[in-house]
Structure 1
């Protein structure tokens, strides 16, 4: 009996040993052997087949590929286009009133301020006072016919009332050069004299001016050719 059991154990052990080492592969179907199945796969012979594409899908893919890249919105108003502060002056009372009336179209609000200006002694090119306003206006018409447009009738109650100012200059030399140019145009009654500022003068400061407003401002300032545009001073209005 013991010999039979011992023989069975030897047979079982021998069978396990043969199975583990592949001696029984010929007797076992390939589908039941994972190792055999792995050996039968040939990765180098595998080919990937494209999936079927629905009608119109390929066209959509092409349109997406051909679409323009996303555009970054452009900033229409650059910071460099905004003028922080500019000053125009110096106006006498009559010119200041006219200038303010023209600026009203720009609706500047609190961006516009006016400040008084104390001018140093200057020199004026002028035509001496005439009899009255009508005479002064008639003289102004003669100047326009000679091609002189840069002038204004002095209306303030000063010794030069109803005279005509042809320009105010910082130096006597500049004033005399301007007088010589007027003489060449046929203006004979003009002269040079000291300009003692008795009446107050005004300058206008304009802040946060964008490009479109600046263009409108330039058109208005062009009608006041004697007025200077400059950077704002530290003096607040």
Structure 2
């Protein structure tokens, strides 16, 4: 009897407990009722899936390229679009370096021709310089001009007694290697004198006198000329560095000559 009473008590207590806390143990029915009671009037259904929303939000920053953004949003999932947007290289247009302008002054300097003058020559020096320039075969590059002076100096053989003496002295002059000379016939004072060369300065005349003395013409003298003297100046055009060097070397053989650059004639 006691055992039956105890069993009945336990069954009653268990039923009471199940009725009181059984919903918490199972969870599903009661939880479903609570979810159903969550303000259904405030719930709105979305017409786009979360994936499309993510794609749209990822494409928004690329508004500078609307065509590309629309294509990516329509044809690729959101993660792919994000990857393209973050990894696309930034193309920077590199402009070519500016071409330096040609210096007009430098270009003009290159185009300018170089011309030189060499002189002044007369007598034997003129003959020698002509031979030296002929060896350079300058052709049309070589020209000449004449310079006149009211007075100057000359190296001469004093007037001789007659034609026989003149002819004998001419033979000696030619034997000494001189060919540019003349016999004075137009002056009573200097008649039958022989001019060996005329010079602009006394220094140049004395230098040539020393030269002919070494050749054996010991009677040659230096005198001042009171009449107009003519000298030759050579003009060389289109002179390059090589030609300039050769002309400079030639000038050393003519102690009283001058070699200089001059403006070229148009």
Q: Which has the larger radius of gyration?
A: 2
TM-score normalised by length of structure 1? 0.44
Higher helix share: 2
